[in-house]
Amino acid sequence: MKIGRRSFIKTSSAAALTPIALMGSGNSWASVKGHSMESPMVTSRAFDYSAARKWAPRADATDLTTVFPDLPGVIPQTELLAIAEKHMTEWMGKTAKSKEMQQRGMKHMPWGIIGCYQKDWETPHLLFSQNSMGNKVTDVDGIEYLDFNLGDTPDMYGHGGVNPAVRSCADLMLKDGLSTMMGNEDSLVVAELLAERFGLPYWMHALSASDANRFVLSIARHHTGRPNVAIPNWTYHGTVDETQKFAPKPGTISRFHDLGIYHGEVDQGTKIFSWGDLESLEEVLADRSVACIMMEPVMSNFGWAWPPEGWHEGVRALADKYGTLICFDETHTISQGPRGMVGHLGIQGDFWTCGKCISSGIPGAVYGMTEEIAKKLYHDQHEVGFFTGAGLGFLGTALCGNTMSIHALRVTLEEVLTDAVYADINRNAAEIQAEMERINRKYDAPFRIETMGNRICYHFIPDKAYDPLHGLIQVGFGGLFELSHSYAWNHNMLIMPYFNMIMITPQHSKEDTKAWITVWDDIVRIAMGQ
């Protein structure tokens, strides 16, 4: 068995169920093989990769499998990968039932799992859980893990009945049942709380952040009469076709996959600018064809790529100049606090979306909009008759407003997503950050620890990243990613499978912190050859 993303290129025969075939696709890290074409929809300005090339001289965005040289002071990649392979092999030996269950699942489900999201885990076979509660998960082999992954955000406030939203929903369903169409008191309170919390006056619901983003783009196009969305290069907004595109180089557009592609589609509906480059943004807005800029307040999915000073003020000014709307997707950055990153930075878009943890892991998402946008929607349906048929179906189906999701959202806003809860979580996260930094100094390791609320990222270069490629390099440096993940998993720690992050719940204790710090001490000591 080989380990490491550079060897995580899978065989085409998944049915063979060899270790390599069972590995996740790793599409974020492998060579880009998607449909590509030259296009005026992409900024022509050169990308500034100078910070990335400081650490990886060959770095570019066309082949992320070749950019990582040995890091000075750290043992060679070959040694790191050999150690990682040892720990992953040991983990595989302890999780035989999970492998068997994936084999069983292959008979009726692609990749042997109910959803494809987990297929990208950097493990030779996938993990199946028996139960989860609070900050712990027990797998089908009876191994109990401290969960610092938390479903990649949905379970950020804890699993099961320790989460007040989950517990309250269970009681509600048994007591009052479920309506999937009619409003109730919860729906009114939720709208009021969202408006007060995030500044936008009108709100609607979806079942996932992907759907919320899709609905927003439909509304933005209707409101402006324009066809295109503008996104930063290497952004992520779920399974939204328009946002699953990127620019491997200026003037060229591509996709992360070829699923459902027909000739020319990749060149339609999406314009791409460079994060942090206002001239690049103005270039794609200038023809006034962009309905909406969709982005995160801080780019995530590879650690963090922070906005340069004046970025958000500049984006707002350009959007107003060219009549373009702005949507902030805070599905990840909500970790900053009860008012998200928009509240922390003091910025405001025309739309705001969030899913995953916003309903404490129960399927639910929200999207907010300005009064002007909401009133036009209402006017166009009821006065002009623009929308016909069975109502505004594209704004959400009957299930979007179901009693359970709305109740979970209300309890999350009232009892979980609060200043008091976040004060405790963030204090714990800050203590963990300080301890990890102490370990780094102990071994003279060039690593950097960053927090965004309860999200703690460990980076393998000391620079703070301001562009996506730099962000990718900081989490993926040769062999260190594989070492940290395989060692953590083999020592009963679930951490983010795709990049270097742990997440803190209200249920994580001082003992849990000590356990993680012990593991981090081992990882850094091994990496530094001490």
Per residue in 409-444, pLDDT (tens digit) is 999 999 999 999 999 988 999 999 999 999 999 999
Our measurement of the distance from residue 200's CA atom to the centroid of its chain's CA atoms, rounded to an integer in Å, reads 23
C-alpha to C-alpha distances, 252 to 38, 68, 271, 285, 395, nearest whole angstrom: 4, 24, 11, 17, 32
C-alpha to C-alpha distances, 168 to 345, 354, 503, nearest whole angstrom: 32, 21, 24
| Residue 9 pLDDT | 25
- Core vs surface per residue 228-267: b (16+ CB within 10 A) or e: bbbbbbbbbbbebbbbbbbbbebbbbbbbeeeeeeeeebb
| Residue 470 pLDDT | 86
User: How far apart are the two ends of the chain, measured CA to CA in Å?
Assistant: 26
Nearest to 68 by CA among 397, 488, 477, 487: 477
| Residue 113 pLDDT | 83
In angstroms, the CA 104 to CA 127 distance is: 13
**In contact, 355 and 329? CB cutoff 8 Å:** no
**Domain of residue 453, CATH code:** 3.90.1150.10
In angstroms, the CA 13 to CA 16 distance is: 6
Phi and psi of 306, rounded to 5°?
-80, 150
| Residue 53 pLDDT | 85
Coil/strand/helix, residue 326: strand
Does residue 139 form part of some domain? yes
Does residue 519 form part of some domain? yes
pTM: 0.91
Domain tally, the chain? 1
**In contact, 397 and 308? CB cutoff 8 Å:** no
Does residue 503 form part of some domain? yes
| Residue 262 pLDDT | 60
Does residue 102 form part of some domain? yes
C-alpha to C-alpha distances, 259 to 241, 256, 333, 487, nearest whole angstrom: 10, 9, 28, 34
Note down the domain range covering 468: 5-30+68-157+425-527
Q: Which two tokens stand for residue 341?
A: 């990153």
Does residue 133 form part of some domain? yes
| Residue 170 pLDDT | 86
Does residue 190 form part of some domain? no
Name 134's bridge partners.
159
Does residue 117 form part of some domain? yes
Does residue 148 form part of some domain? yes
In angstroms, the CA 219 to CA 223 distance is: 6
- Core vs surface per residue 329-347: b (16+ CB within 10 A) or e: bbbbbbbbbbbbbbbbbeb
In angstroms, the CA 506 to CA 525 distance is: 29
Q: pLDDT under 70 in the chain at which residues? A: 1-35, 61-67, 115-117, 178-180, 258-264, 384-398
| Residue 279 pLDDT | 98
Positive or negative torsion for Cα 129, 134, 136, 138: negative
Say which amino acid occupies 65.
T
| Residue 327 pLDDT | 98
